[in-house]
Every structure is written in structure tokens, then in C-alpha cells.
Amino acid sequence: MATLITERRSIEAAGTDPSWSHLYRAGGIAAILFALLSIADAVVIFMLPPPPSSGGIATLEYIVANRPAYIIFQSLLVGPVVLTLVTFPALYIALRHLNRSYAAIGSVIGVASVVLCLVPFSYVNGLVYLSYQYAAATDAQHPTFTAAAEALLAQNNSVSVGGVLFALSILVISIVMLKGVFSKWVAWLGIVSGGAGIICESLRPMIGAAFSLYGVVLIWLIAVGWKLYLLA
């Protein structure tokens, strides 16, 4: 009995319960893959003419001319965040012995943020659908489709609640990381990334290219993913 208690305490102190090894590995791979796909999305942006951020006519004509690339770009922009649905539970398990409450709060906020981040997919699909209709319409019908595109763009370019919550979850989880398991630099990088993300996401419609500063979070994701993989 004493041996079992000692072993359990050792596991809890290290935060590496072997029974969760598959979750650690999956969560780590998911975090790294999310970061790499986000980098791939940035590469796609540089290879294509930049999509217009406003203007129904300009947007629809851009999609008509670059439809496959636009769909790939938007899919890489939004879709990979689904992978973190595995990463957040893995982080909770790895950190729960340090502060069960805050580890849970950060992970729950993270999962909720992912669900909300998927909302823009409906706007993107709507714009792609409208581009088909716009291409086949007559000049007299074009104003109808451009007005609909303007409405979707207004929603898509508004502040992302999911994005703000995602950054908040990184901030909360990284504060817990300061107590152990992950290196101090990873924890501090997460705190900086989370704080910057909250500001960037909240001001996204106004800061333009400055939003790219939030890209530092990709380094945090890779570091966290690698550590989770090692914990397995």
C-alpha cells in the first residue's frame, strides 16, 4: 500500500501519469500540426494576390477568379483550430496537479473558443456560394448578390469572440505552467502570447497588419506540443 501511495504521489508530482500517455501524444501532435498548418496558410497568402477585406463586388470577383485557392486559404485559416480540441484536455491532465481549478478553467475556455472560432466557416461557405451565383447572374441581378456579400463580410470582419477566448485560455494555462511541468520560458511566452492575442483579437478590425504580431503564439504551440509528446 505504501509503495502504491508513493508511486501515485510521484506521478502527481511529475504530472506524467502514464495512463494518459496516448492523450499527451495526440495533444502534442495536434498542437504542432495546428502551428504548421497555420504557417502553411501564411505561405498561401504570399503566393496569392491579397483578398479584399471589404467590398461585396471586389470580394465576389476575387473569389470567382481564385476560388480553389480562396477555399484552401480559408480552410487553413479556420479549420486547423479543431485540432486543439485534443490539445486542451491534454494540457489539463498535464497541469491539474499544479492547480486543478485554473487548469480546468483554461482548458474549458479553450474548448469553448474552438467551437466559436468555427463560426466563420458559415460566412466563408456563404461567400463561395454567392460567388457562383454572382458569376452566373446578369448585371441587373449583381446588386442583390453584392449586398448579401457585404452583410457576410460585415459579420466576418467583426471582433471574434472565439479568438479572444482562445487567447484568454492560453494566458490562463500559461500562468499555471509557471509552477512546473513546462519550462519557464514556455510559460512566459504563453503569457505574452495570450495577452497580445486578447488585444489583437479585440482590435482586429482596426489594427490591420499589426495583427501578425500574434503569430508568436505559433512558437508557443510548437513548444507545448513537443513537451506533451515527450510526456507520453
The Cα–Cα gap between 191 and 27 comes to: 20
Whether the predicted pLDDT of 105 surpasses 70: yes
**What is the pLDDT, as a whole number, of residue 16?**
60
- Give the mean pLDDT of 97-121: 90
- Give the mean pLDDT of 170-192: 95
**How sure is the predictor about 47, in pLDDT bands with cuts at 50, 70 and 90?**
confident
Who has greater pLDDT, 68 or 198?
Answer: 198
The Cα–Cα gap between 85 and 177 comes to: 19
* pTM of the entire predicted model: 0.80
Element (H, E) at 129: helix 120-136
Using a 10 angstrom Cβ sphere, with 0-12 exposed, 13-18 middle and 19 or more buried, the burial of residue 7 is exposed
**What is the pLDDT, as a whole number, of residue 131?**
84
**How sure is the predictor about 6, in pLDDT bands with cuts at 50, 70 and 90?**
very low
Question: Under a CB-based contact definition with an 8 Å cutoff, are residues 73 and 41 in contact?
Answer: yes
- Give the mean pLDDT of 24-40: 93
**What is the pLDDT, as a whole number, of residue 7?**
38
